[in-house]
């Protein structure tokens, strides 16, 4: 067993990014910096939940990852599956303990989100489109969690809508990238059921819907700082163009990575708008 596997299996860069988005959700909601204690708790609850979710996902995806991602800790034998299961449950338990220190709403949302992460990895992921919607909903809940922690919604609601739509696009495109392993396990994702081309159209549609939804804060009277969202919209549209042009694995990987980057950039655009 490799000690670094305990860090690697959580995909720490993703978890840190999610934690930052949670804190930024608090800032976007109130237009100011939250209390340090609240910000730290939000960050830790989101990071631990993300870490637990990624770990339990690898536990259930062991057979798929042997084909799609053999370099990950479980397929290469750096950690046993049983250890990964107990580790994920421990991460969830610590996260819930910290969530209870924020407020009852934050604890409830964390509990629901953690359960959904487990159910997604266990049962929902192979279901056509249901798994995509679940991941998108969990991602959208991240900035909302920060808003709940400070008991104010503000622009975080609009951010959550955009996050949901762009993540549906990313998840569908990611399924195109992972078709080979998913077929081997018998999963029933959109690309497998409908073909890569039709799935690409669905992903591109949700990318375009994201861009359309990004204009909602303008109607709410947001300031000029929100124009920082314009280059983000262009990145999203370019990702849609790429996957419509070609559905090979390399292009799908590039497209979904661009959408992943756009999520963080969108948060920053909303942050600028909220503070300005």
- Enumerate residues 6+ apart whose C-beta is below 8 A from 65: 58, 72, 74, 75, 181
Per-residue pLDDT, 223: 58
Per-residue pLDDT, 215: 85
Fold observed for domain 1-154 = Tetracycline Repressor; domain 2 (1.10.357)
Return the higher-pLDDT residue of 271 and 168.
168
pLDDT digits (tens, 9 = 90+) for 52-65: 999 999 999 998 88
Would you say the pTM of this structure is higher than 0.95? no
Fold observed for domain 155-276 = 1.20.120
Q: Please tell me what DSSP assigns to residue 124.
A: I
**Domain definitions of the chain by residue range:** 1-154, 155-276
pLDDT digits (tens, 9 = 90+) for 211-233: 999 888 876 656 555 678 889 99
pLDDT digits (tens, 9 = 90+) for 151-196: 998 888 988 999 999 999 999 999 999 888 778 777 788 999 999 9
Helices (H), the chain: 5-8, 12-30, 36-60, 62-68, 81-99, 104-119, 130-149, 156-177, 179-185, 190-194, 196-213, 216-219, 229-245, 249-275
């Amino acid at each position: 067993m490799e000690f670094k596997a305990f860090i690697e299996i959580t995909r720490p860069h993703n978890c840190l990014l999610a934690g930052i988005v949670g804190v930024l959700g608090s800032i976007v909601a109130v237009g100011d910096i939250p209390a340090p204690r609240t910000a730290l708790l939000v960050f830790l609850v989101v990071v631990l939940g993300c870490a637990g979710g990624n770990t339990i996902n690898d536990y259930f995806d062991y057979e798929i990852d042997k084909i799609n991602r053999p370099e990950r800790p479980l397929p290469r034998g750096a950690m046993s599956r049983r250890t990964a299961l107990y580790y994920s449950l421990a991460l969830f338990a610590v996260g819930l303990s910290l969530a209870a220190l924020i407020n009852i709403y934050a604890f409830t949302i964390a509990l629901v989100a953690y359960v959904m992460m487990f159910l997604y990895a266990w049962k929902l992921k192979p279901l056509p489109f249901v798994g995509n919607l679940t991941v998108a909903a969990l991602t959208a809940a991240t900035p909302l969690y920060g808003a709940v922690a400070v008991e104010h919604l503000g622009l975080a609601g609009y951010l959550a809508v955009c996050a949901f739509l762009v993540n549906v696009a990313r998840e569908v495109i990611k399924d195109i990238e992972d078709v080979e392993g998913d077929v081997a396990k018998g999963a029933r994702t959109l690309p497998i059921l409908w073909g890569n081309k039709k799935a690409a159209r669905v992903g591109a549609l949700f990318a375009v819907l994201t861009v359309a939804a990004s204009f909602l804060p303008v109607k709410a009277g947001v300031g000029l700082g929100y124009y920082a969202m314009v280059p983000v919209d262009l990145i999203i549209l370019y990702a849609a163009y790429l996957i419509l042009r070609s559905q090979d694995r390399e292009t799908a990987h590039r497209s979904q990575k661009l959408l992943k980057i756009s999520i963080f950039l969108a948060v920053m655009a909303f942050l600028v708008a909220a503070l300005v």
